[in-house]
């Protein structure tokens, strides 16, 4: 009797190790034909039980096994329907599992198509990519029919359970809502589930930003570093503290964009992230750093840069020093030295002064902390 068989396969290519991950897949087989469907779950070799066919020794083992069970149930339900209809096509089963129905692309593929078609910055497209990869790995919103209130609520609950900060959760909802609205315009969906949500999704903006004190900044500048790449990372960070440049703008810094006005040098460019204009004056210490590198700053990957900054942070007693602290430190130093907040906003390339006010709130927090330390001492 013809039958579609369902199996769960880990590491089909036998390449996993305790340090190298591999995929967990569903295998559909019938009459000698096979199709493999990725669950989006990747594990190391010691995180899969061949005997039990489940995830083990993983921080999210329960969640991953629940997701796997959901995939298996969905596949078995589809197999039952196909058998009742006298269909035994593993390719069709694969398409149905992928969200492809009646010749239409899946919702995830539609998101990828719209991602490429949208006229937005490359930075925004990278944010879309992160969200789409999440949809692929989560596995509950794959087809257009999955875009319903229950799954939107489930996504919110899942992200909260995973410990995502509220602003990240808000952005994921924003991207999902955006792609759903596009699908409605294109006639692929009839209604937007967000109109029927029984709760409000808060933005959850961060109130304070991480920065270092002026004393810590001076300690970093004073370090005697012998390793060239650590020294370059320190110099780049110090340059950030004098200019307020974000990492992406630091890496694209081009001295030819500088203009001399009244004996001072001003740098004008557009932010890589938002395409917003910004301008600042090059302070003397920043010019000295440029001269050190013949006006061409060193290039370094974001990951390596942050790795080196952690080492530098440990030298001066700062836990987890990272690149954004340079930009944040510049903002708080500018404000603390009396620069008007609207000018700081222009220097940082902020589109909304509320973004800049976070740095002002950080200063207020420092003042509060200082007075707390005085409590009972005077």
* Full DSSP string of 247-288: HHHHHT--GGGEEEETTEEEEEEE-TTT--EEEEE--HHHHH
Asked whether the CA dihedral 287, 344, 252, 206 is positive or negative, the reply is: positive
| Whole-number Å distance between alpha carbons of 144 and 187 | 11
* Greatest extent of the chain over all pairs of C-alpha atoms, in Å: 89
pLDDT tens sequence across 39-78: 878 899 999 999 999 999 988 888 888 888 888 888 898 8
So what's the pLDDT on residue 375? Answer: 53
Q: How confident is the model at residue 373 (pLDDT cuts 50, 70, 90)?
A: low
pLDDT confidence of residue 180:
95
What is the chain's mean pLDDT, rounded? Answer: 85
- Tell whether the model's pLDDT for residue 351 goes beyond 80: no
Could you give phi then psi for residue 309, rounded to 5 degrees?
A: -65, -35
Question: What's the pLDDT at 112?
Answer: 93
pLDDT of 371 reads: 45
Q: Domain spans of the chain?
A: 5-97, 107-196, 214-374
In whole angstroms, give the CA distance from residue 27 to residue 49: 17
Q: Which of 124-138, 149-163, 173-187, 207-221 has the lowest mean pLDDT?
A: 207-221
Report residue 7 CA to chain centroid gap. 33
CB count in 10 Å sphere of residue 153: 14
Residue 359 pLDDT > 70, yes or no? no
- For the stretch 33-49, pLDDT in tens is 999 988 878 899 999 99
Class of domain 107-196: mainly alpha
CATH homologous superfamily, domain 214-374: Intergrase catalytic core (1.10.443.10)
Given a cut of 60, whether residue 205 has pLDDT beyond it is no
Q: Kindly report, residue by residue over 1-17, the tens digit of the pLDDT.
A: 578 899 999 999 999 99
Query: Would you state the pLDDT for residue 367?
Result: 43
Q: Is the pLDDT of residue 324 over 50?
A: yes
Residue 374 has pLDDT above 50, yes or no: no
Cα–Cα distance for residue pair 99/119, rounded to 1 Å? 26
Q: What is the pLDDT of residue 122?
A: 82
Which tens digits make up the pLDDT trace of 159-195? 988 888 888 899 999 999 999 999 998 888 888 999 9
Per-residue pLDDT at 372 exceeds 60: no
β-bridge mates for residue 34, sequence order: 29
User: Tokens for 353?
Assistant: 């002064």
User: Which residues, at least 6 apart from 221, have a Cβ–Cβ distance to it below 8 Å?
Assistant: 234, 238
Q: How many whole angstroms separate alpha carbon 10 and alpha carbon 44?
A: 10
Q: Given this model, what pLDDT does residue 378 score? A: 43
Residue 5's SS3 state is strand
Question: Which pTM was predicted?
Answer: 0.49
The dihedral formed by the CA atoms of 219, 224, 228 and 230, expressed in degrees to the nearest 10: -30
E strand residue ranges, 167-231 = none
């Amino acid at each position: 009797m013809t039958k579609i068989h369902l199996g769960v396969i880990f590491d089909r290519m036998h390449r996993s190790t305790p340090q190298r991950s591999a995929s967990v897949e569903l295998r559909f087989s019938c009459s000698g034909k096979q199709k493999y469907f990725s669950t989006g779950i990747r594990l190391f070799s010691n995180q899969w039980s061949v005997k039990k066919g489940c995830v083990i020794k993983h921080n999210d083992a329960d969640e991953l096994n629940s997701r796997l069970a959901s995939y298996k149930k969905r596949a078995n339900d589809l197999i039952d329907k196909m058998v009742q209809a006298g269909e035994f096509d593993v390719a069709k089963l694969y398409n149905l599992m992928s969200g492809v129905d009646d010749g239409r692309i899946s919702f995830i593929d539609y998101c990828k198509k719209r991602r490429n078609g949208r006229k937005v910055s490359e930075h925004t497209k990278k944010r879309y990519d992160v969200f789409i990869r999440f949809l692929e790995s989560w596995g509950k919103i794959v087809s257009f029919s999955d875009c319903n209130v229950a799954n939107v609520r489930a996504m919110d609950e899942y992200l909260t359970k995973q410990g995502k900060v509220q602003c990240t959760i808000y952005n994921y909802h924003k991207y999902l809502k955006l792609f759903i609205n596009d699908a409605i315009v294109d006639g692929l969906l009839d209604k937007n589930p967000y109109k029927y949500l029984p709760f409000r999704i808060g933005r959850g903006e961060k109130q304070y930003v991480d920065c270092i004190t002026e004393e810590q900044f001076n300690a970093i500048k004073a370090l005697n570093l012998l390793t060239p790449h650590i020294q370059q990372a320190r110099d780049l960070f110090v340059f950030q503290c004098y200019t307020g440049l974000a990492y992406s703008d630091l890496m694209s810094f081009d001295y030819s964009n500088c203009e001399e006005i009244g004996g001072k040098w001003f740098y004008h460019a557009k932010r890589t992230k938002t395409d917003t204009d910004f301008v600042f004056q090059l302070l003397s210490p920043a010019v000295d750093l440029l001269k050190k590198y013949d006006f061409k700053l060193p290039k370094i990957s974001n990951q390596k840069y942050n790795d080196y900054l952690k080492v530098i942070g440990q030298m001066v007693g700062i836990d987890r020093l990272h690149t954004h602290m340079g930009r944040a430190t510049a903002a708080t130093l500018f404000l603390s030295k009396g620069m008007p907040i609207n000018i700081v906003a222009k220097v940082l390339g902020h589109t909304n002064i509320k973004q800049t006010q976070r740095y002002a709130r950080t200063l207020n927090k420092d003042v509060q902390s200082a007075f707390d330390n005085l409590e009972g001492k005077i």
